[in-house]
Amino acid sequence: MTTATDNTSLGSLREEQALLRSRLARLRRRLQLQMALEFALDAAVALVATAALLVFLDWWFRLNLPARLILLAAVLIGVVPFAILRALRGWRAARLDDLSLAVTLDRFRPGTGGRVADVLQLPDQLGESEESVSPAMIRLAVRQASEALAASDWASLWNRGRTLKRSAALLAALLVPTAFALIAPQAARLSAARWLQGSTERWPQRTYLSVVGLGDRNRILAPRDETFALEVRADLASVEPRKGHWIVSGRGEPLILRSLPKTPEVPKAVRVRERAAKGAVRDAVMVATGPSLFRYELPPSSTSTTFDLTGGDDWLGPVKVDRVDRPSLAATKLRVKEPGSPGNEFRAIDASAQHPVFLPDTEVELTLVGSEPIADAQLTVHPGQPPKLNRVDASTFTARWTLREAITLEIQLTSKATGLTSKPAFFSIGLLKDREPRVALRALGVGAHVTPVATIPLSLNATDDLGLSAVRLQLERTTAAGEKEKDKGEPKTTKKTVLLPLTTDGARAVLDHQARHDVELQADPPPLGTILRFVAEAEDKCARGVQVGRSAALQFQVVAPDELFYEILIRQRAERAKFVMLYEAAEKRATALSGAPSADDYATAMRGLNNGSRQLDLIAGRIADTLQEMKLNQVGSPKSHRLLQEGVIDPIRALNAGTVNELRSVLQSLTGTAPKAGADAESVRRLHGEVVAGMKIILDQMSQWESFVDVVNQVAEVIKMQQNVLQAAEKARESRTQEVFDEKP
């Protein structure tokens, strides 16, 4: 049985245990606080060090968002488990029971653990039998342990210096980001935005590249299978201010800048790397075409590619180059309403007409049809104001205007889907200038002087652009003043119009017309000295009004037959002089061909023969022209005409076509240019002698012709003198008769 003394002693022991437990609890709380402080310090240091490392790596390597995410994940995988393990160890250490805590205290203060164990465990043995335990000894041991523990300085177990150092280190670790934010607020803000918010805002750079024409898109549209010029600028030409910051476009995505560099740095070189769809890579250096402009031509391709740019401390990409087809002009339709058109309606023009031409004041309607939906169509005229385009549907435009002058339109279409422009297409419309008819009038076989009984053959040729409607001759005759006083000094002019028939072939217009008209003066012989003037006129079928075309005027003077005959004879004598020169030259060649001439002699003779042959043709032609003029003016008799034709003209032509031609063949054979059988020096001399003899005969005929003319002229002079004497005798007889019968005062 337990006595009262024992119970009292047990109660005091329990109080000792409670007191010790409260002390251990306070010590455990301090230990937990220390552990928490150490964990916070370690976490803060690790966080600050990791953040500093990440910010440094990001600033140095300019990491993009995927790289930052990978690096952050790697850091979290390495640091977080380590921090969790340390936290678990600290948490486990802070939750030790009283005995475990006593064992831990015994490491730092030997003997303390045993005393704590005595106080906590020995009182529980008092309830056992006295044979196994000694209550007195237990009470003594507990009392001694309690007194020893009570005498111990529990406050000394707390390392205040370490706590202060850890607290100061934690405060310093927390002040590092604060100081960073105060010293470099922009860098701190940018670091937080890039690492905590996933922002794509970049660190400040000295160089900023922008692709011309890219804007805020992430792709460029390029024509399929064509070379594409890629242009890059490095002068921040496409920067725009917006709400306290700047937006740089032309980079595939908007680039936000909080501040602009004072002087953008132009890189020495900009490199481009193009990647094809099949994995092929092409590296190149762009060409500097200006102070801050670089250019590179992407080669033709049928598939889309991507490219990256690097220059200075900037990089850009990947940017996709989409290869698409340009829009094109699928069809061009043309309708016109010409002046005077039947029904005043538009008519369609065949599309196969390459360069259509129309009359002035023609109303033109041009329809343009694109190969795809078109956002805009543009007409350009150099120079001038282009006609206005009106939209019909998604891919069709029309323009209508009045044609005043020839026009060439440059057509460009802009695709609605891609924004690409078509290659320039040119469409020309010419102006059909309906000129007045062109008329030519010639007199065949006569010269500027004609006789009163001459026949003047006129040849008329008229042409027009669209068609002739009438052709006529204007004949004008101007005679000198008459003998009456009222007519003195006043020439008389009479005019006459002769319509020439115009043959038409149904509905086909006559564009070219030739006519022959002979003017016979013998029907109404004009007086000597009369001036004859002939003008041909033609009218066309111009829709804007009849136009009249006139030829140059042909003018003739009526002279006496003797005067014209003398003029013709002078021209014939000039031709005879030329013939004499040819005859003398032929006689000189006979000397060179005698003996044994060389090939050079034959060549020289052939050149002279060729020249003489041409001259013979010309002489025969000019004499024939004089003969024709004599016939048309009725000068000379038929016998004289026959003598000139048969005695001079025909022999010259026969000689030139016969013997001269044969001699030329023989000379060519002897010079080696055209071999001919029987060609030798003897045949050359023989033929040359025949040529000289023929020319001699012709020359005699010319002399005979001139003698005949002289005789005729002499006879005509005698007859004229006789007529003059007869007229004078008649006048004298009339005068004497008048004197005989006159009454005298």
pLDDT digits over 566-622, tens only? 888 888 888 888 989 988 888 888 888 887 788 888 888 888 889 989 999 999 999
Query: Which residues, in sequence order, are CB contacts of 416 under 8 Å at separation 6+?
Result: 372, 373, 374, 375, 394
Indicate whether 148 pLDDT > 60. no
CATH classification of 438-559, choosing from 2.60.40.1940, 2.40.100.10, 3.30.360.10, 2.60.40.640?
2.60.40.640
Burial of 201 (0-12, 13-18, 19+ CB in 10 A): middle
pLDDT at residue number 102: 62
Q: What local confidence, expressed as pLDDT, does residue 412 receive? A: 92
Closest residue by Cα to residue 206 from 155, 165, 266: 266
Q: What are the sequence ranges of the domains in the chain? A: 4-183, 204-324, 329-430, 438-559, 562-727
Q: What are phi and psi of 360, to 5 degrees?
A: -60, 155
CA dist., res. 4 & res. 17, Å (int): 20
**What is the reported pTM?**
0.53
Alpha helices in 550-648 (DSSP H): 561-593, 599-632, 638-644
Q: pLDDT tens digits, residue range 712-726?
A: 555 455 556 666 666
CATH number, domain 562-727, options 1.20.58, 1.10.405, 1.10.150, 1.20.120: 1.20.120
> In the predicted model, is pLDDT for residue 634 greater than 80?
yes
What is the band of 552 on the pLDDT scale with cuts at 50, 70, 90? Answer: very high
* Torsion 109-114-115-116 (CA) sign: positive
pLDDT of residue 510: 84
Which 3 state secondary structure label does DSSP give 245?
strand
Considering only CA atoms, give the Rg of the chain.
65
Topology at the third CATH level for domain 204-324:
Immunoglobulin-like (2.60.40)
DSSP three-state, residue 507: coil
117, 99 in Cβ contact below 8 A? Answer: yes
> Residue 159's pLDDT is what?
61
- Assigned CATH class of 329-430: mainly beta
pLDDT class for 271, splitting at 50, 70, 90? very high
Least confident of 11-15, 376-380, 388-392, 565-569: 11-15
Contact 488, 594 (CB under 8 A): no
- Does position 225 have pLDDT exceeding 60, yes or no? yes
Q: How confident is the model at residue 7 (pLDDT cuts 50, 70, 90)?
A: very low
In the prediction, which pLDDT does 54 show? 86
- Closest residue by Cα to residue 702 from 659, 657, 658, 643: 643
Rounded mean pLDDT, 449-478: 90
**Shared fold status for 329-430 and 438-559:** yes
Poorest-pLDDT segment among 38-52, 139-153, 519-533, 697-711? 139-153
What is the pLDDT, as a whole number, of residue 391? 92
Q: Which long-range contacts (CB under 8 A, 24 or more apart) does 189-194 make?
A: 190/258, 191/51, 191/55, 191/58, 194/58, 194/68
Mean predicted confidence (pLDDT) in 310-339: 89
Question: Does the structure show a pLDDT above 80 at 96?
Answer: no
Confidence of residue 376 (pLDDT cuts 50, 70, 90): very high
pLDDT at 721: 64
Closest CA to 358 of 285, 429, 435, 443: 429
Q: How many whole angstroms separate alpha carbon 715 and alpha carbon 133?
A: 204
The mean pLDDT of 86-109, rounded to a whole number, is: 61
Cis peptide bond prior to 264, omega within 30° of 0: no
